[in-house]
Structure 1
Amino acid sequence: MTISPTGSQAELAERHSHVLMRNLGTPLRVFVRGEGSYLWDADGNRYLDLLAGIAVNALGHAHPQVLGAISAQLSTLGQVSNYFATPTQIGLAERLAAMATVNAPERSARVFLCNSGTEANEAGFKLARLTGRPRIIAMEGAFHGRTMGALAITANPAYRAPFEPLPGGVTFVPYGDVDALAAELDETVAAVVIEPIQGENGVVDPGVDFLAKARELTTATGTLLWLDEIQTGIGRCGDWLASTSSGICADIVTLAKGLGNGFPIGACVATGAAAELFGPGAHGSTFGGNPVAAAAGLAVLSIIERDGLLAHVREVGDRFAAAITALNHPLIAQVRGRGLLRGVVLTRPVAPAVAAAALDGGFVINAPRPNVLRIAPPLNVTADQLDGFVAALPGFLDQP
């Protein structure tokens, strides 16, 4: 039985243009198959995937054990509604609660499971509202999602303006500026929401001290510290959470992307007093916490742990950044980020053209900013595969 429509790259792109809404524009390629760190388009061309669905495919494409876990669970039990629970749901919540409290194991934690990162952030927004305080502080350059609550704490005017008025009470301060945060923070602020690294803003890292200072300031005012680890979590930066190295425990941690290896899943983890803010009926999600998504999440966590991928991410990520720096190309200013979330900062705003040249050359990357290339491959990408991209990069840089 044939399920997916077939055709050439050009034919499928033409059909796409007539039937899909135009919110995402014209697709750069139509992909039909993936295996490990590679993708194939409808014309049979192979690409090394160094974007992983924007940090989603933590274990690459068609990982056999993730597929096995999903298939086994779906053949047993697929969906039972939120009136009931399943063992996979409970087991995944236990793993995520432990992950969020690794720097404060005595702290209690509770988990809300959903289907995406923006939904996880909607849950975080609702938790903040339940404190009774009217304000939220977010960061300039932030991206937290496209639903209305998540958009309210996202700083990009181009995303916000068409949908205003958005939920109010949000103040933006410069990312990484402790003094600016302290100046805005008082007992009227329900939560401060921070990405440990701003991926969509060009892989901007404020350093570990910023999160530690934010924790001190929010504790002093009784404000929730909310960390959006949707892109940085699940091993992407070399720890289960990028914030772990700061030595802190947040009140809210939101997760998604790499947790399901392509199967839709998100999670909002609340710790301490924040874990008790939701009562029965306060929030929900029809598909959130379904046993199949939970099985995918458990499989991903188990494989990362079994294969020692956290250490691998740190090792190959640092090696990769050093190799790009060692190119000494005049268009490369620096390499930012941690682990396998890296931003190659260029001296001129030609990143989209470089990303297009790389795609034509068989490498999937993207340009979140005009002067930044983002590299976020599967966590099990090999050093040899990364070396291949490094060797090809000068040619792509010289094309625009």
Structure 2
Amino acid sequence: WVLFVCFILFLSGRRGLTKGLEITSANQPPIEKAQGEKVTLPCTFTLAPEDQGPLDIEWVLIPTDNQKKEQTIVMYSADRIYNHYYEAMNGRVQFSVPDPQTGDGAINILNLKSTDTGTYQCRVKKAPGVQSQKIQLIVLVKPARTKCYIEGVQETGRDLTLKCVSQEGSPLLSYSWRKSTGTEELPATSLLNKDTGELSLKNASQEYSGTYTCVAANTVGTDECFVVLNITPPMNTAGTIAGAVIGTLLGLFLLAFLIFCCCKKRREKKYEKEVHHDIREDVPPPKSRTSTARSYIGSNHSSLGSMSPSNMEGYTKTPYNQVPSEDFEHPSGQNPNFPPSKVAAPNLSRMGAVPVMIPAQSKDGSIV
């Protein structure tokens, strides 16, 4: 029995010393690379004499969500390479060596993107051996588009804050400030927050003036910006307020004056228009030409009738001497006490009549 037990132990020891397929690059730490760079994911292995099957090397991307399936990236099988499984990495992934059968199944990923971050697994199969390893890849983005600005009033005795922020960049970002002009030292009252990039300045003085530079950094790169700080004496607030009030009052007065002038001008135009088109009732209508002619005749008649015979010497009597001398008989039934309708000119002169010049008239009575 003792010999039998020793024989069994001898066989078991030989089996334990026999090694099959083994991956020698296992237990790799996480790899950090910057966006746009190239990374090599190692996967070296050794084979045993008993591994006689075909060699297969497969790289897969393990999703963070367990509900999703693994995504094959590249494969080596039957002496051929297949690298068109993953569309997001088409043309960017390849084996590091032309013939992975030499024991090097590492791959290169070119032009890294932030979406390439994840856990990758290398699987080596050569029947009957099967081995695998996992590697975590972290693609970091360098700080970029960093901006600096000042928050607060740049006056003596005031508190203000210099702020710095990168619009791009993978965490954890770290910020630092330095003064680029003058003493090139930050004020003694300054307080820096490296995580937020804020530099607080208390009770500012003119010595704080100068150019300040902010540097944003992470493990893959840096970016910077600058801002110019100019501390000035405080402004005369009372004078500024008084000037603003006076200016406002003058503006209101000018506006009121313009409105008054416009209203006055409008009222004048309206009055002129009403007077122009209004027919006044207290003005009598113009007299007709007939009435005017009669008035003129009457006035001339009265004025001529008051003239003495001596004043009539200038008037010619020839037309009156030519008046027919025959008398008209009284029509039947006419009152004989009335003078005849026509009297001869000599008889009129003897009766003391005064000749009167009567202007010629038209049928409607207007003077011709």
- Place the TM-score, normalised by the shorter chain, in its bin: under 0.3
Output the TM-score relative to the length of structure 2: 0.16
Output the TM-score relative to the length of structure 1: 0.15
Which structure has more RCO (C-alpha within 8 Å, separation ≥ 6)? Answer: 1
| Structure that is richer in strand per residue | 2
